[in-house]
């Protein structure tokens, strides 16, 4: 048996489980957004943090990493781990996964992804959109068992840059948080990060341009 898991948040930089292969790529028809509240890792019930979820959006793509886990025992172990780690996400979906080398046809089909839906009856942790200043303030303040919420944001920003898939909206949010932190954690560093990412993002953008039409 083979299990593929798609990570678009903390799984991009820390899988937390043993895997046989890691592939960088993207899914179609979804946008990464900081709309999911978090009370068990990067926040508390009294002061929830904000983590990413996926919002259906036509013509959008979301970059991340897919992990292959082989063998029944390994698959069961990983699923048990993920069910606990992602317990505040109410949807388990199986989605087609694409790569730079396969933009028109899925490189993988039926890749597992955890999503926090907009249905507040099923997902009590969903916070939804807010002005960027409000989201930044919440992220700057929230701290949970896994650490500060801003660390989650900054590490995701860095991880996406490292795979050549930086996102303007995420960088803008990170910069707003840095302002509130008084320049801590590298306010100048993000300028260097932006420049370092630009070439890779433009290159990948050209390679997948037109893929959404398929």
Instruction: Return the active site residues.
Output: 86
Nearest to 120 by CA among 200, 37, 63: 37
CA distance 167 to 206: 15
Let me know: does 177 contact 70? Beta carbons within 8 Å: no
CA distance 88 to 116: 7
Let me know: does 15 contact 7? Beta carbons within 8 Å: yes
Residues 6+ apart with CB under 8 A from 9: 32, 51, 52, 152, 156
The β-bridge partners of 212 are none
The β-bridge partners of 56 are 30
Mapped onto helix, strand or coil, the DSSP state of residue 69 is strand
């Amino acid at each position: 048996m083979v299990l593929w898991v798609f990570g678009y948040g903390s799984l991009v930089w820390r899988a937390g489980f043993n895997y046989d292969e890691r592939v960088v790529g993207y899914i179609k028809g979804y946008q990464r957004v900081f709309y999911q509240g978090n009370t068990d890792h990067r926040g508390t019930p009294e002061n929830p943090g904000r983590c990413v979820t996926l919002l259906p959006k036509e013509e959008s793509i979301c970059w991340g990493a897919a992990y292959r886990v082989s063998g029944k025992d390994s698959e069961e172990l990983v699923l048990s781990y993920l069910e606990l780690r992602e317990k505040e996400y109410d949807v388990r979906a199986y989605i087609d996964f694409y790569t730079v080398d396969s933009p028109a046809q899925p490189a993988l089909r039926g890749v597992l992804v955890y999503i926090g839906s907009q249905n507040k009856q099923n997902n009590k942790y969903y916070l939804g959109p807010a002005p960027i200043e409000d989201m930044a303030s919440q992220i700057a303040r929230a701290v949970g068992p896994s650490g500060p919420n801003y660390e989650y944001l900054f590490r995701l920003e860095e991880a996406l840059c490292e795979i050549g898939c930086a996102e303007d909206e995420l960088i803008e949010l990170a910069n707003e948080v840095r302002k509130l932190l008084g320049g801590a954690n590298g306010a100048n560093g993000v300028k260097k990060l932006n420049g370092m990412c630009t070439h890779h993002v433009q290159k990948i953008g050209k390679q997948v341009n037109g893929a959404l039409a398929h």
